[in-house]
Amino acid sequence: MFLQLWIGRHPYAPLVRRARKPRSPSSRPIACGLMDTSEAHAPPGPRDPVPPTWLQLAERVAGAGASVVQRYFRQPDLAVVRKADDTPVTAADREAEQAMRELIAREAPERMRRVLGEEGGGDDSDHATTDGDYLWVLDPIDGTKAFLGGKPTFTTLVALVRQREPVLGVLLQPITGECWTGAHGHATRMNGQAVQANRRRAQLRDAILCATTPHMFAGVDRERFFDGLVPRVWHTLYGCDAYGYALLASGWVDMVAEADLKPWDFLALAPIVQGAGGVITDWHGAPLRLHSDGRVLAAATVTLHEEALQALRHPRNP
């Protein structure tokens, strides 16, 4: 009953209701609708603001993938294939990424047509991300297990990388229609409204920590996470996938710590967290780049981030 009332009052309720029924391939793509400009822009420098038209393009790319995912959500006849690493993949993953790639090929400038995707692979070599070249990094369904379980915490992720650094990120939840965007020179927004990370819980012992699953931590990472960080926070939530970083950007949780991630899992999240005033790095405190090692720590404030880094570096027994 509570869920029904919440959906009925949610500002994006029309999107939620439409998502309950399969949609035809010709249905209009989901759109974040955050920017409205037709100005032309020269390519920005490494730290220049990202042109709003590029944000629009990234939103359309995410929307193209999310529209495909939406059609397959909670369809009982959806076939699942296990990849070599035992992670699941479905027709929804593959068709969504293909739709995203086709939109990039059709609408992106020539210098912005290289793509690295979770399902379709691509070029992540240095020459693809140096000088004036750009690389799109796509994850059509981040959280495929949540998607298969009927839990709407999976997301569609789009990152734009320049010189190995993510300069733009979009996170779109295909069922609720919630969409976060972050980019160099822009405040992070959720469906057009600026958001900010929570600054009220200033100490680690009061913080809410997120991670996708306890099983993502192995070996020394497991000791660092469970003996170092978890005992020092107030509460730990599991099962959010990339959605946890969106919750951090909007001020609902204070920290996310994860390991064993791939570039398409984390690159889109860096501009979103940073544009909301948060901090996001690897476990050594270095900025996230295309070839980072897959260990990610995000926090609402610099102080929380520093305390969490120290906890990860110096684990203790419970």
User: Quick check: 85 pLDDT over 90?
Assistant: no
Centroid of chain to Cα 29: 19
pLDDT band at 33 (very low <50, low <70, confident <90, very high): low
Report phi then psi at 53, rounded to 5: -65, -30
Q: Tokens 């497991």 correspond to what residue? A: 222
Instruction: Please indicate if the annotation marks 139 as binding a ligand.
Output: yes
User: Quick check: 108 pLDDT over 50?
Assistant: yes
User: Quick check: 53 pLDDT over 70?
Assistant: yes
pLDDT digits (tens, 9 = 90+) for 296-312: 999 999 999 999 999 99
Q: What mean pLDDT comes out for the span 79-88?
A: 82
pLDDT of residue 29: 53
Closest CA to 104 of 59, 38, 66, 72: 59
Domain positions in the chain? 2-194, 204-313
CA dihedral angle for residue 256, residue 260, residue 263, residue 265, rounded to 10 degrees: -50
- Whole-angstrom CA distances from 159 to 73, 101, 221, 264 are 23, 13, 26, 8
Q: What mean pLDDT comes out for the span 239-249?
A: 96
pLDDT band at 118 (very low <50, low <70, confident <90, very high): confident
Report phi then psi at 111, rounded to 5: -70, -5
pLDDT digits (tens, 9 = 90+) for 134-188: 999 999 999 999 999 999 999 999 999 999 999 999 999 999 999 999 999 999 9
Instruction: Please indicate if the annotation marks 36 as binding a ligand.
Output: no
Instruction: Please indicate if the annotation marks 86 as binding a ligand.
Output: no
CATH 3.30.540.10 is held by the domain 2-194: yes
Q: What mean pLDDT comes out for the span 207-222?
A: 96
pLDDT of residue 288: 97
Instruction: Please indicate if the annotation marks 77 as binding a ligand.
Output: no
Query: What is the architecture of the domain spanning 204-313?
Result: 3-Layer(aba) Sandwich (3.40)
pLDDT band at 227 (very low <50, low <70, confident <90, very high): very high
Instruction: Please indicate if the annotation marks 131 as binding a ligand.
Output: no
pLDDT band at 21 (very low <50, low <70, confident <90, very high): very low
